[in-house]
C-alpha cells in the first residue's frame, strides 16, 4: 500500500528526519511511536505533501506503486485515497460550518457517515464544533476523513487527552472501520498502550530515525532497543502503585547532531564505547524484528510495589459541603462534598463534563458556586498562599515574553517576606539547573515548562496544590518525571494535592484517596487502591474496563 525509502526531512540545512524506511501493507494498522521531537508527525505529513513552509523532504514515497512527487501527485491522492485525521479536531473542522456541512464538503453522505462513526442522532449534523464534546468532535472529524473512502488513513495522535472511555470508543471505532473497509491505517502516537492495542506492526522513532520495528505485541513482550525498553518502564500502572517512577533522563537530541553515532548514546544506561563510534544500522534480532542497537537489551529489574501511604500530618485543610454550580439550565456540580487533610493527596477522576474542573475552579475562587460551602485553611492567610494550581498547558501560567527567573521572582514576591525562595531555589526544587532562570518558556521542552509551572505554583509555599490534568499531553517518559516530582512535593514538603485526571494509571501513582465523578456527582470514593482494585459502582467498573489489556515486560 505505502512504501517509504530513505526519507529525509530538512528545515533549511538542518536535518530533522534522517533516512526513514517504512512499508505498510493492505489492511494493516501500522504504528509510529516515540517522544515529541522524534520526527513522527513530519514523517506523516511528508507522505501527504503537507510539510510546513520552509521544510522540505527527499527520498522515495510510493503509494500503490505510484511515486508521490510534486504537488500535482499529492493533490491527486490527498483527501481522496489518503486521508488525514489530526489530534485536535478543531484543526479539521471549520468553526463556521456545521458538522453536516463539513462532511458534505468532503464528499460524503452525511447521515451514512455519521452512522458509520456511531452517531445516530441526526441533530448532530446541524451543530457547530463548539456545540460538540471532544469525543463527538473527533467522531465528526473521522467521518469527514472517511467521506471519500480513502485506502489509507493517517491518524496523528487521534486519542491524546481524551477520557479513558471515549479513547476506548474511538480505538474500537477505528479498528472496526479498518476491518470493515480493508483500509490501511498509519497511527502516530506517543501513547504506547494505544499503539500496542490497535497496531499489527509498529516502528519506534528516535531523533529522526527508526530504532526498532516489528510486530506490536512482540515488541511489547520484549523490546530489543534500550530506548523502547525505557519507554515501557516509564509507563504507570493502574494495577499497582510503583515504588519509583522511572523516566528516561534527558531529552531527544536534534537529528543533525547525532548523525555519526547512536542517537540514544547520552541517555542510555547500557552504552558501550563502540556506541559512539558509528551510527548503528537496523539489523535483524528475530525473524520479524529489527533493532538499531549494537548490544542485547539487559532486562530491567521489576519495580517493587509501594505499599506505603503518606499519612496526613494535620487536620482538615479543605472541606467542601453540598457544593452546587449551575450554568443556566445545566447543573455542572451536584451536591458534592469532600475533604482534604494536610499532607494528603486526593484524586478526582471522571469523563469530560463530569464536573471535575468546575469543582476545582470553585475551590480556587475562579467561579462562584450556586450553593454549598467551601472552607479552606484557617486564620487570615490569603487564599493565594493557601492554594495554587498547575494546569494541563503550562503556557496558561507562563508569560512567553518573560524569562523564567522573572516569572519565578514575581511569584515568590506574593508569598511571605521571611525566607523568600529565589528563582534558583525554586528551579533546584523541581530538578532544573539554576541557569534556566535566563531562558524564556519557548526555549524549554514541554516537560521543562511544566516543571517551571510547578515551581511557580510552589513559590508562595501553598498548603494545597490543585493539579488539573498536569500530565495529560506529555510523553510517557516526561510524565514519569513530573509524577515523581509531584509525589516528592506531597511526601517531602507536606503539600496537599487535589489531583484531577482522566487517567487511572496516573491517579494510582500519586493519590491516597480517590473520588469518581459522573454527571456532576461523586458516585464512588475511598482509598485509591481499594476503588481501583474492587470498584463498587458500574461507572467505575466501566472506566477500569476501558483500559487497554496489554501486559508490558522488559
Q: Is the residue at 236 inside a domain?
A: no
Q: How many domains does the chain have?
A: 2
Classify residue 307: in a domain, yes or no: no
DSSP 8-state class, residue 146:
T
102 lies in some domain: no
Residue 258 pLDDT? 93
On whether both 219 and 324 belong to a single domain, the answer is no
Residue 482 falls inside a structural domain: yes
Is 229 a member of any domain? no
CA distance 16 to 13: 10
Domain termination site, one of 190, 224, 258: 224
Residue with cell 517509504: 4
Q: How far is CA 357 from CA 92, 360, 469, 472, 551, in A?
A: 26, 5, 9, 14, 32
What does the buried/exposed string (b/e) look like for 438-461 if buried means 16 or more CB atoms within 10 Å of the residue's CB? ebebeebbbbbbbbbbbbbbbbbb
> Strand, helix or coil at 2?
strand
Q: All 3 cell numbers of residue 511?
A: 493519590
338 and 207, same structural domain?
no
Domain boundary among 224, 254, 273: 224
Q: Is the pLDDT of residue 106 over 90?
A: no
- What CATH number is given to the structural domain containing 195? 3.40.50.300
Strand order in the sheet with 371-376: 330-341, 316-327, 371-376
* Whether 37 and 171 share a structural domain: yes
Which helix H or strand E contains 334, and what residues bound it? Answer: strand 330-341
Q: Are residues 356 and 466 in the same domain?
A: yes
Q: Is residue 299 part of a domain?
A: no
pTM: 0.87
For residue 411, the SS3 value is helix
CB 198 within 8 A of CB 174: yes
More confident residue, 151 or 446: 151
410 and 510: one domain? yes
Which of 536, 530, 489 is closest to 345 using CA atoms? 489
519/389 same-domain check: yes
Least confident segment among 128-132, 390-394, 520-524: 390-394
In this structure, are 357 and 489 located in the same domain? Answer: yes
Last residue of one domain, picked from the residues 224, 242, 269: 224
Residue owning grid cell 511515486: 67
Instruction: Please tell me the distance from the alpha carbon of residue 37 to that of residue 230, in angstroms, as a whole number.
Output: 16
pLDDT band of residue 389 (cuts 50, 70, 90) is very high
For 359-381, the pLDDT digits (tens) are 999 998 899 999 999 998 755 66
Residue range of the domain that includes 164: 2-81+150-224
In order, the DSSP letters of 374-399 are EEESSTT--HHHHEEEE-SSGGGTS-
Rounded Cα–Cα distance for residues 412 and 540 (Å)? 40
Residues 11-51: tens digit of each pLDDT: 999 999 999 999 999 999 999 999 988 999 899 999 999 99
Tell me, yes or no, whether 384 and 488 share the same domain. Answer: yes
- CA–CA separation, 270 vs 266, rounded Å? 10
Q: Does the pLDDT value for residue 64 go beyond 60?
A: yes
CA 116 centroid distance within chain: 27
Which pLDDT does position 549 carry in this prediction? 62
Residues 215 and 331 in one domain: no
342 within a domain of the structure (yes/no)? yes
Residue 388 included in any domain: yes
Distances (CA, A) of 346 to 200, 339, 365, 412, 422: 38, 9, 19, 26, 29
Is the model's pLDDT at 490 over the cut of 60?
yes
Report how far residue 78's alpha carbon sits from residue 50's, in angstroms, rounded to the nearest whole number.
Answer: 9
Amino acid at each position: 500500500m505505502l512504501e517509504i525509502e530513505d526519507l529525509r526531512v530538512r528545515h533549511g540545512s538542518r536535518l530533522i528526519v534522517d533516512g526513514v524506511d517504512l512499508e505498510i501493507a493492505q489492511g494493516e494498522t501500522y504504528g509510529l511511536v516515540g517522544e515529541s521531537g522524534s520526527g513522527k508527525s513530519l514523517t506523516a505529513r511528508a507522505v501527504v505533501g503537507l510539510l510546513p513552509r520552509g521544510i522540505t523532504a527527499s527520498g522515495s514515497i510510493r503509494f500503490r506503486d505510484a511515486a508521490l512527487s510534486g504537488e500535482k501527485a499529492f493533490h491527486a491522492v490527498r483527501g481522496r485515497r489518503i486521508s488525514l485525521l489530526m489530534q485536535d479536531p478543531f484543526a479539521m473542522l471549520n468553526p463556521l460550518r456545521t458538522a453536516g456541512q463539513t462532511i458534505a464538503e468532503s464528499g460524503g453522505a452525511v447521515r451514512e457517515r455519521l452512522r458509520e462513526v456511531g452517531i445516530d442522532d441526526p441533530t448532530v449534523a446541524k451543530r457547530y464544533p463548539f456545540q460538540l464534546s471532544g469525543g463527538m468532535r473527533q467522531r465528526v472529524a473521522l467521518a469527514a476523513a472517511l467521506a471519500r473512502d480513502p485506502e489509507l488513513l493517517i491518524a496523528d495522535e487521534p486519542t491524546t487527552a481524551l477520557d479513558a472511555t471515549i479513547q476506548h470508543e474511538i480505538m474500537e471505532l477505528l479498528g472496526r472501520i479498518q476491518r470493515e473497509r480493508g483500509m490501511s491505517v498509519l497511527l502516530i502516537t506517543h501513547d504506547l498502550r494505544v499503539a500496542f492495542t490497535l497496531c499489527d506492526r509498529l516502528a519506534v522513532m528516535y531523533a529522526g530515525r527508526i530504532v526498532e520495528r516489528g510486530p506490536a505485541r512482540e515488541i511489547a513482550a520484549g523490546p530489543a532497543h534500550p530506548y523502547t525498553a525505557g519507554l515501557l518502564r516509564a509507563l504507570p500502572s493502574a494495577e499497582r502503585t510503583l515504588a519509583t517512577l522511572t523516566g528516561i533522563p534527558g531529552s531527544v537530541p536534534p537529528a543533525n547532531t547525532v548523525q555519526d553515532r547512536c542517537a540514544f548514546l547520552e541517555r542510555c544506561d547500557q552504552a558501550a564505547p563502540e556506541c559512539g563510534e558509528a551510527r548503528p544500522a537496523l539489523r535483524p534480532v528475530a525473524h520479524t524484528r529489527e533493532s538499531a542497537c549494537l548490544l542485547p537489551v539487559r532486562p530491567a529489574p521489576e519495580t517493587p510495589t509501594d505499599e506505603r501511604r503518606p499519612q496526613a500530618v494535620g487536620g482538615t485543610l479543605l472541606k467542601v459541603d453540598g457544593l452546587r454550580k449551575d450554568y443556566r439550565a445545566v447543573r455542572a456540580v451536584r451536591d458534592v462534598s469532600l475533604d482534604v487533610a494536610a499532607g494528603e493527596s486526593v484524586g478526582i477522576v471522571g469523563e469530560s463534563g463530569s464536573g471535575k474542573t468546575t469543582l476545582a475552579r470553585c475551590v480556587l475562587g475562579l467561579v462562584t458556586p450556586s450553593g454549598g460551602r467551601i472552607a479552606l485553611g484557617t486564620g487570615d492567610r490569603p487564599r493565594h498562599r493557601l492554594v495554587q494550581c498547575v494546569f494541563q498547558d503550562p503556557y496558561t501560567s507562563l508569560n512567553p515574553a518573560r524569562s523564567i527567573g522573572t516569572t519565578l521572582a514575581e511569584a515568590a514576591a506574593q508569598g511571605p517576606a521571611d525566607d523568600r525562595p529565589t528563582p534558583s531555589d525554586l528551579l533546584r526544587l523541581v530538578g532544573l539547573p539554576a541557569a534556566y532562570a535566563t531562558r524564556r518558556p519557548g526555549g524549554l521542552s514541554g516537560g521543562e515548562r511544566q516543571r517551571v509551572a510547578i515551581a511557580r505554583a510552589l513559590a508562595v509555599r501553598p498548603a494545597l496544590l490543585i493539579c488539573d490534568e498536569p500530565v495529560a499531553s506529555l510523553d510517557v517518559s516526561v510524565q514519569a518525571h513530573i509524577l515523581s516530582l509531584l509525589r516528592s512535593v506531597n511526601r517531602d514538603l507536606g503539600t496537599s494535592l487535589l489531583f484531577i485526571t482522566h487517567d487511572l494509571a496516573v491517579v494510582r501513582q500519586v493519590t491516597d484517596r480517590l473520588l469518581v465523578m459522573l454527571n456532576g456527582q461523586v458516585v464512588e470514593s475511598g482509598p485509591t487502591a481499594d476503588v481501583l482494585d474492587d470498584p463498587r459502582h458500574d461507572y467505575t467498573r466501566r472506566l477500569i474496563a476501558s483500559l487497554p489489556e496489554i501486559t508490558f515486560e522488559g
